[in-house]
Amino acid sequence: MRLMFVGFLCAVSAISTKVLAAEAEIVTYKEMCDASAAVALDKDHFVVGDDEMNTLRIYKRGQSSSIKQVDLSKFLDTKPDKESDLEGAARIGDTIYWISSHGTNKDGKVQDRRRRFFATTVDTTSSPPGLKPIGAAYSKLVENLSSDPRFAKYKLAEAAKKPPKTNGAFNIEGLADGGNNKLLIGFRNPLPENKALVVTLENPTDLIEGKGEAKFGNPIELDLKGRGVRSIEKVGGSYLIVAGPYDGKKDFVLFRWSGKESGEGIEKLETPAMNALFPEAMFEIPGTGEVQVLSDDGSLTVGAGECKDAPRSEQAFRSVILKP
């Protein structure tokens, strides 16, 4: 299935809104619906995580079926049919860090398997590139954040017991290279004073290597007009953020953020080609200045039910490439 959306050029307005000039083709990839985290492996290949399963799939751009799969069930200490709700990914060098939602299931039940921070390494000697997990998964981010006095006002321990799509719940969806071997963690929920919460993880390598507990920078609050972070990606000297509501509503916007801890330097980008999607994953395509945005299409209708409940052979997600 391919649809064509054509954007047009518009000057930056007084409210710092920019329309991206792009002719963007929506391309469909098979074998999963809920594309929720993704990273480029090279210019032509990318890996995608699904929040409904623990198997990573590697795709070649423009080829609908995956070319490699990496089953993480054993590594994450889960059963093959019990997902860890993977939601974010970020690459630093040849290490790809992955993070799960750390929230409850839809009924508000706390499940340890949803509290995972881990890493894979890229095998650049194989063609196409491969992946393998390294170190050990870390599962104490909620406790570490809750015990840090700088985050007391967010009541994260209480939030982590609420269903993730309720007001004030705990739900991580974004992960990005924060520079200097640090990571930025982006929250879909909670929204303190209607702002999105971003947290710097200062020692990701230590956690993977089993050296101590998580250390954080100061909390960052971003004015994304009442939306939380659904995906965040470092592009050049700034960050692109896919922002959306904490619940299941469709209201997605792309922002550019300076990266300043003060939260200053936010610009809204109008993206006509993205309007048809449910964007939840994004990554920069190396050497192109372009970003690829992936849609979580689990709720779309396939046959008599939702895509995520369809047979694997009938599942698919959509993707678009933009040049911000």
Tokens of 133: 């997990």
Which residues does residue 4 pair with via DSSP β-bridges, in sequence order? 25
Residue 27: inside a domain? no
Smallest CA-to-CA distance from 170 within 183, 151, 180 is with 151
- Average pLDDT over every residue of 244-253: 91
Does the structure show a pLDDT above 70 at 8?
Answer: no
pLDDT of residue 250: 85
Query: Quick one: pLDDT at residue 18?
Result: 52
Mean pLDDT of 15-34: 72
CA distance 176 to 131: 19
**Would 283 be classed as within a structural domain?**
yes
Q: Which residues of 284-316 are buried (b: 16+ CB within 10 A; e: fewer)?
A: bbeeeeebbbbbbbbebebeeeebbebeeeebb
Domain count for the chain: 1
Rounded distance, CA 285 to CA 22, Å?
16
pLDDT at 260 over 70: yes
Count Cβ atoms within 10 A of the Cβ of residue 77 and give its class: 0-12 exposed, 13-18 middle, 19 or more buried. Answer: middle
- Whether 142 maps to a domain, the answer reads yes
Full residue range of the structural domain in which residue 284 is found: 7-21+32-322
Distance CA 175, CA 100 (A): 10
Share of the chain above pLDDT 90, in %: 86
Q: Burial of 15 by CB count in 10 Å (0-12 exposed, 13-18 middle, 19+ buried)? A: exposed
In a domain, 1, yes or no: no
Give me the pLDDT at residue 2, please.
33
**Across all residues in the chain, what is the average pLDDT?**
91
- From CA 122, how far away is CA 144, in angstroms rounded? 28
Compute φ and ψ for 230, nearest 5 degrees. -105, -25
Predicted local confidence at residue 79, as pLDDT: 86
DSSP-derived 3-state class of residue 269: strand
- Segment among 74-88, 91-105, 135-149, 195-209 with least mean pLDDT: 74-88
Question: What confidence tens digit (pLDDT) does each residue in 71-101 have?
Answer: 999 999 998 889 999 999 999 999 999 999 9
Peptide bond into 128 cis (omega under 30): yes
Question: What is residue 20's predicted lDDT score, i.e. its pLDDT?
Answer: 54
- Give residues with Cβ within 8 angstroms of 108, minimum separation 6: 161, 162, 163
* 285 occurs within a structural domain: yes
Instruction: Give the closest residue to 28 by CA, choosing from 294, 253, 272.
Output: 294
At 127, the pLDDT band (50, 70, 90 cuts) reads: confident
Separation CA 324–CA 188 (nearest Å):
22
In a domain, 2, yes or no: no
The span from the CA of 179 to the CA of 222, in Å, is 19
Taking only the tens place, the pLDDT of each residue in 149-185 is: 999 999 999 999 999 999 999 999 999 999 999 999 9
The contacts of residue 39 (CB under 8 Å, 6+ apart) are: 46, 47, 89, 90, 91, 96, 283
Could you tell me if residue 280 is inside a domain? yes
In a domain, 218, yes or no: yes
The pLDDT of 59-76, averaged and rounded, is 96
**Alpha helix positions (H), 178-292:** 204-208
- CATH number, domain with residue 104: 2.115.10
